[in-house]
Amino acid sequence: MDVSKDAVKKLRDMSGAPMMECKKALDEANGDLDQAFTILRKRGKAAAAKKAGRAASEGLIGSYVHPGSQIAVIVELNCESDFVARNEEFGQLAHDLAMHICATDPRFIRKEDVTPEALDKEKAILAVQAEGSGKPAAVLEKIVEGRLGKFYEENCLYEQHFIKDQNPAQTVADLIASKIAKFGENIAVRRFARFKVGEGLIPTGSTPGSAG
């Protein structure tokens, strides 16, 4: 079908994918914007999976200071080449991720990064909540596993819905996957730090590393 330029541009703004890829996805989806976006997300994830094992030792530090200067974030975003690291869009991605982290305050980067202690604690809380349903133990276990998805979404950066995206279905992982597909390189968040005035301060009279 004949896809309009406006539809292609809108999908390009939503996904960050190249114009030709957007047109192909819209053609495949018969002009349905949401379906075309889903197609691009799947392709992006496929591209990301292929490149996930490749070394990403270049990159840059993105930063964001929230108005009022009470909260600030720095994030290290890695890629494979200095050429991509110097790209304006890559720099904007690092800044946007820092702003997202400022707003959502994740504890971990990926689900795999959740510590056993944190996971066990959350499972124990969910188990107590589920016990009130009076259902069999096998069912309770499935309920707990199902509710862990919400925990990951709230605490893991890659699982969170990207705050700047108009499509609430796009996660940070989807966003990064779309950039991997566009640049043809592995891209990954290596680490981040979030600072808030008055939090995590060393007690008066103490020094870093002191026994307290």
N- to C-terminal Cα separation, the chain = 70
Whether the full predicted model's pTM is greater than 0.75, yes or no, is no
Q: Which residue has the higher pLDDT, 113 or 183?
A: 113
Residue 95 near residue 62 (C-beta atoms within 8 A): yes
pLDDT given at position 19? 79
Q: Domain boundaries in the chain?
A: 5-110+156-196, 115-146
Q: Which helix (H) or strand (E) covers residue 155, if one does?
A: helix 137-155
> Which residue, chain included where needed, has tokens 């499972």?
123
In the block, tokens 């808030």 appear at 196
Q: Quick one: fold of 5-110+156-196?
A: Tetrahydropterin Synthase; Chain A (3.30.479)
How far is Cα of residue 175 from the mean position of the Cα atoms in its chain?
Answer: 7
pLDDT at 146: 80
